[in-house]
Structures are given as C-alpha cells and as structure tokens.
Amino acid sequence: MSWLNSLKLELNYYVISILCVSLGVFLCTSIYRFAERQTRLSVLNRIPGPKPFPILGNTLELKLKGGDRHFSKHSVRRTKWKQRRKLLTPAFHFKILEDFIDVFNQKSFKFVSNLEVNLNGKPFDIFPYVTLCALDIILEWVNSQLIVKYVLGDRKPRLAFLDLLLESAEENEDLSDEDIREEVDTFMFAGHDTVAASLNWTLYLLGCHPSIQNKVYEELEAIFGKSDRAAASSDIREMKYLECCIKESLRLFPSVPIYGRELKENLVVGEYVIPKETNVFVIAYQLHRDPDQFPDPNSFKPERFLSENSVKRNPYAYVPFGAGSRNCIENV
C-alpha cells in the first residue's frame, strides 16, 4: 500500500501547488488593480468639486469640446454593437424613412381624432395620447413588415429594420431569434418612449407661448392652406420654424438628459487630466444650458436654431441624440 500513500502525497502536493499558484495570481491581480485604482483616484482627487462619498463617489460635469475621440460607450458587448449598428444603419436612411410617410399620416389623423373628445375647454393630460400615437407608428412599422413577408408572401418596396434582421438571420447563424427580439424590443419601447416625451414637451412649450404657437400655425397655413390633405415629404422639409421649435424643446428637455461613457484615453480638461477607463457622465440637460452657447438659456426661443443663428455654435453644445459613432441611430 506504500505506492498508494505515495500517490496521495503526490496528488496533495499537486493540488497544493495549483492552489498556491492560483492564490498568487489572484493576489498579484488584486494588488495591481488596487494600485491602478488608487493612481486613478489620486489624479481625480486633484480636480475641484464635491467630496466623493465611499462607493458612490461623485459625478464630474464635463463640457464636450473635443469631439468624441475620448469617449466610448461602456459595454461588454462592443463587438455585438458594432455588428448590429452596421447592419441596421441603412434602415434609418432618410430615403427609407420617407417611404413610411403614409404610416405617419394615418396615425397622426387618428391622434387628432382621439383628441376631439377633449374639446370642451377643460384641461386634460395629453401625454397618454401622444404615447399611444408614437407606439402605434412603431408597431405599424414593425408588424407590417412581419405580416408582409411571412403571411402575404409579398414584399413591399420599402425595407425596414426587421427585414434586415430577418434576412441577416437567414445568412448568419450567429443572429438568433433572441438577438432579433432584443433589437425589436429596443426600437419599440426605448424608441417610442423618447419620441413621446419629446413631443409632449414640445406641445407643452407651445401651449405656454401662444405667440410662438401662432408662428407655427401660420407656417402650416402657408403650406397647406385650408386643405386637410395628408402631408408629403416635401411639406415636412418646408416646416422650418416647427423644426426649430422641436429642437429648442429638446434643448430644454432632452429625452435622455444624462448618459454615461467610458474614456478610452486620457482627457485633458483645462489644467486637469482625467485618466482613461474612467466612467464619466454627460449631463445634456445642463450642457444645453451653457449661457456662452445659448444666451438666456432657460427661455424657450426657437429662433436659436435658425441656420443663421446656429452656424457659429459649437457642434457639441447641443447633443440631444448623443454624439459621435454611438449617437442615436435614428439621428443618422
């Protein structure tokens, strides 16, 4: 039985060796990460601002002045995002979206019809109506493509994002049904909610400023006259002042008022250096109220976005859809 005892001793020695090596690697990695974190903190602590709390820390207010080269969206799925972004971007080309103008018109007429029950002079909450309209448009967009392709067996000439996903799934086994559902969920729920919030604030601000509302009305009267016809793509391009109102609404009340990024390289802000791999937050709500870029920043002034008033403005002073390669895909 001596050989058995020798085997046990060898196994014990082997197990102990593995445990020691693993423990050593763990300790070295932990010490390295701790030292790296302390180095980053020592640099960040030189920046004036609120004293950080344990674990919570504090949030640094940054102004984007150098483009997006410093920033990347913090995610463990960067490769997946790049593949999906490249795949879906063509579905949001302006020419493709123009093909859905009939859907926009149909749902807009339904929205106006739904509002008629409240034409009694009393205040009412318009947000649920706006939300349902935005959701209706996205559902119509998604469901029409699905029904056309798999029920009717006849494709429409327009190509929506679900078409691209389904066709790619046929050619690429890596794109599963779960992946397709993820993308559909993102566009249906995240998309309609941000649009509804933006439209609701725009209507609210127009209601608070009757003189501006009258200018929008006069612009629409100049385009449509007394006609009740549906809007064409060419009509939308003529709604310059209405576009300014929507942009000014997004400036004051961005649908996504704050979003996070991870620095992919050191960022110099004045005399301070923020180390790479630091998580930072861009506070669009505050950024849009910079008086250097927007005088009288808390006032609703759509004229700010007329072409002659925007030409000298820093392009990163107004980022309601984010900025750089990871901006909102609907802002292509």
pLDDT digits (tens, 9 = 90+) for 104-150: 899 999 999 999 988 888 889 999 999 999 888 887 766 655 444 44
> Is 70 exceeded by the pLDDT of residue 23?
yes
- State the pLDDT confidence band at 87, using cuts at 50, 70 and 90: low
The average pLDDT across 304-326 equals 84
Q: Are residues 117 and 204 in the same domain?
A: yes
> Is 60 exceeded by the pLDDT of residue 59?
no
Q: Are residues 150 and 12 in the same domain?
A: no
> Is 90 exceeded by the pLDDT of residue 271?
no
CA dihedral 106→107→109→115, nearest 10 degrees, is 160
The average pLDDT across 61-74 equals 47
CA gap 70, 265 in Å, rounded: 6
Region of residue 292 (phi > 0: left; psi between -120 and 50: alpha; otherwise: beta): alpha
Q: Coil, strand or helix: which one is 262?
A: strand
Q: Are residues 154 and 193 in the same domain?
A: yes
- The answer to whether the annotation marks 328 as part of a ligand binding site is yes
List the domain range (segments joined by +) for residue 200: 46-331
* CATH code, 142: 1.10.630.10
Confidence at residue 322, expressed as pLDDT on a 0 to 100 scale: 73
N-term to C-term CA, the chain: 76
pLDDT digits (tens, 9 = 90+) for 210-269: 999 999 999 999 999 888 899 998 998 999 999 999 999 999 999 888 888 888 888 888
Indicate the length of the chain as a whole number: 332
Q: Are residues 103 and 137 in the same domain?
A: yes
Q: Are residues 137 and 219 in the same domain?
A: yes
Q: Are residues 200 and 152 in the same domain?
A: yes
Among residues 30, 45, 60, the one where a domain terminates is 45
- State the pLDDT confidence band at 1, using cuts at 50, 70 and 90: low
Based on the structure, what is the number of domains in the chain?
Answer: 2
Q: Are residues 287 and 217 in the same domain?
A: yes
CA gap 299, 296 in Å, rounded: 6
> Is 80 exceeded by the pLDDT of residue 305?
yes
Q: Are residues 190 and 300 in the same domain?
A: yes
Q: Are residues 60 and 14 in the same domain?
A: no
Q: Are residues 135 and 268 in the same domain?
A: yes
> Phi and psi at residue 239, in whole multiples of 5°?
-85, 60
Q: Are residues 41 and 80 in the same domain?
A: no
Report how far apart, in Å, the C-alpha atoms of 124 and of each of 19, 97, 120, 202 are.
Answer: 68, 32, 10, 16
Q: Are residues 27 and 93 in the same domain?
A: no
> Is 50 exceeded by the pLDDT of residue 74?
no
